[in-house]
Amino acid sequence: MSTSALHHRTPPTTPRVALVTGGSGGIGRAVVERLARDGYAVAVHYAGNRNAATELADRIVADGGRAIAVGGDVADEAEMTEVFDAVASAFGGIDVVVHTAGIMILAPIQSMDLDAFDRLHRTNVRGTFVVDQLAAARVREGGAIINFSTTVTRTSFPNYGAYAASKAAVEGLTLVLARELRGRDVTVNAVAPGPTATPLFLDGKDDAAVAALARAVPLERLGQPDDIAETVAFLAGPGRWVNGQVLFANGGLA
């Protein structure tokens, strides 16, 4: 057998299964739609918007795909165990977990309400830990775990202190888990979007602030959810030699 054959992974012959947390809206919704187009069976996870998740799953099924809606608090290990169980029961296993679910609360560090800080970190840090813990135990050989960080861990914009801290923790978890899964043929990476036109990003910003952020990007526009979904699709599928990395999908924003 040649050296190249020894290191070439045979493509899967059965449809792959993806669980997308926060899949009912924003970037998560774009990821679900892209993976469904790529032939994945998709589980659309929601925390509160059951109707949007169900509508998306039903539309994918109507278009000839395979999809279900699953709900749960990402920071609650019992609820998320039920989510993983439901996906495995419906589709026979899990190959890809894309963890887009998160919240953003902005305030100066000096005046940040600590109850809000705790709520932010419960969802973004504990939620990522819970999902990654379950994914590490469930994702099949040849699979991928994809977390979500943010470019603000590098740009350090004012008012983003608590949010950036939560996402820096996500990056740390991602890099460690990639190394803990040595020998499993499971990649673990994080995507760090820049300013992207989603309700989470646009909420509370006036037109001037949005325009200024768009101008700050060398490509001179905001990202779109589909831009981020392209990066996720690469990591979920062909990007098998990318592991233990944070990919900044931000149009060049430094």
* Residues labelled catalytic: 163
Contact residues for 125 (Cβ-Cβ < 8 A; gap 6+): 166, 169, 170
Instruction: Read off the DSSP letter of residue 254.
Output: -
In whole angstroms, what is the distance from residue 194 CA to residue 200 CA? 12
In whole angstroms, what is the distance from residue 136 CA to residue 177 CA? 8
First vs last C-alpha separation in the chain: 46
**Residue 68 near residue 121 (C-beta atoms within 8 A):** no
CA distance readout (Å), 139 to 135, 194, 231, 242:
5, 28, 20, 17
Compute, in degrees rounded to 10, the torsion defined by CA atoms 239, 60, 69, 82.
-50
Contact residues for 38 (Cβ-Cβ < 8 A; gap 6+): 233, 236, 237
Beta strand 17-21 with 94-99: parallel, antiparallel or unpaired? parallel
Burial of 231 (0-12, 13-18, 19+ CB in 10 A): buried
